[in-house]
C-alpha cells in the first residue's frame, strides 16, 4: 500500500512541476492539487464520476450530466469516432451526427438536453453499431475528459499522429491529423479514458496517513 501511495505521490509531484507550481511537494502533500485552477476548493472526485440516466423514449441513448455547457470543444472530443456533421442533424434540436469515417453511416447522435436534475446535460445516442458496449464505454471516456481534463498531456503523448494538443488551456483534437485509431479512447492506453481518473480520486498522501 505504501509503495502505491508513493508512486501516486511521485506522479502528482511530477505533474505539479509540469504545470509550473513553485513548491510541488508542498502542493501535493497539503492537498492543494485537489483544487481547481484559480484556487477554488473542490471535491475533485466528483468531476470524474460519469453521471447519466437512460433515455426512456429512445433505445441506446443516454443523458449525461456535464459540469459546463456542451460546446464545440465538447463535439471536438468525438472526432476520433468519425466525421462530425451538423448539417445532417435536426437543427431545432441543435443535433450533431457523427458519421463512420469509412462508410459514412451515422454512428452517433449528439444533442444538448434539458433535464431537471442536471444543470448541464447532453443526450448521446448510438446508431447502427454492433459493438454497442464498446462504443458506449468510449463515449463515456470522452464525457469524462470534458468534465475532468486537467491538461496532464497523457492523451497528447498517446497519439502517434500528433492529432491531440494541449495549448492555451484547451484540449484539441485536430481533425486533419486524426486517423481514428481510437488509442486515446482505449482502456489499453488510458484506463477510464483519462490518466487523471486514477489521481483525481481521493488519495491519501504520506502526511494524511
Q: pLDDT digits over 136-147, tens only?
A: 999 999 999 998
Its sign, for the CA torsion 197, 20, 146, 118, is positive
pLDDT for the residue numbered 99: 97
pLDDT computed for residue 208 by the predictor? 36
CA 57, CA 150: separation in Å to the nearest integer? 35
Q: Which comes out higher in pLDDT, residue 168 or 157?
A: 157
Percent of the chain whose predicted confidence (pLDDT) is above 70: 78
- Give the best-scoring range by mean pLDDT among 42-46, 67-71, 147-151, 197-201: 67-71
Query: pLDDT value at position 38?
Result: 39
pLDDT above 90 (res 15): no
Condensed to tens digits (0 to 9), the pLDDT of residues 44-95 reads 556 677 889 999 889 999 999 999 999 999 999 999 999 999 999 999 999 9
- Percent pLDDT > 90 in the chain is 51
In Å, how far from its chain's centre is CA 22? 28
Q: Following DSSP, what letter does each residue of 113-136 receive, concatenated?
A: --BTTBSEEEEEEE-S-S-HHHHH
User: What is residue 4's predicted lDDT score, i.e. its pLDDT?
Assistant: 58
Whether residue 133 is predicted with pLDDT greater than 90 in this model: the reply is yes
Instruction: Supply the mean pLDDT for the chain.
Output: 82
Residue 26 has pLDDT above 90, yes or no: no
> In which order are the strands placed within the sheet that holds 61-66?
52-54, 61-66, 120-126, 106-112, 96-99, 83-85
3-state secondary structure 31-57: CHHHCCCCCCCCCCHHHHCCCEEECCC
Give pLDDT, residue 205: 40
Is 166 in a helix, a strand, or coil? strand
pLDDT of residue 19: 63
Is pLDDT at 167 greater than 80 in this prediction? no
Amino acid at each position: 500500500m505504501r509503495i502505491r501511495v508513493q508512486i501516486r505521490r511521485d506522479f502528482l509531484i511530477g505533474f505539479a512541476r509540469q504545470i509550473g507550481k513553485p513548491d510541488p511537494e508542498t502542493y501535493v502533500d497539503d492537498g492543494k492539487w485537489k483544487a481547481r485552477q484559480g484556487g477554488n476548493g473542490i471535491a475533485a472526485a466528483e468531476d470524474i464520476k460519469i453521471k447519466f440516466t437512460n433515455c426512456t423514449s429512445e433505445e441506446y441513448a443516454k443523458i449525461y450530466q456535464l459540469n459546463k455547457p456542451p460546446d464545440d470543444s465538447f463535439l471536438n472530443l468525438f472526432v476520433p469516432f468519425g466525421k462530425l456533421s451538423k448539417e445532417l442533424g435536426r437543427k431545432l434540436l441543435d443535433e450533431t451526427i457523427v458519421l463512420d469515417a469509412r462508410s459514412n453511416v451515422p454512428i452517433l447522435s449528439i444533442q444538448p438536453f434539458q433535464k431537471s436534475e442536471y444543470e448541464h446535460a447532453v443526450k448521446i445516442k448510438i446508431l447502427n453499431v454492433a459493438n454497442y458496449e464498446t462504443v458506449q464505454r468510449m463515449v463515456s471516456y470522452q464525457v469524462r475528459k470534458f468534465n475532468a481534463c486537467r491538461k496532464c498531456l497523457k492523451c497528447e503523448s498517446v497519439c502517434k499522429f500528433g492529432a491531440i494538443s494541449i495549448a492555451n488551456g484547451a484540449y484539441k483534437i485536430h481533425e486533419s491529423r486524426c486517423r481514428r485509431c481510437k488509442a486515446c479512447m482505449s482502456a489499453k492506453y488510458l484506463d477510464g479514458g483519462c490518466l487523471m481518473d486514477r489521481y483525481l480520486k481521493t488519495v491519501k498522501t504520506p502526511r494524511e496517513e
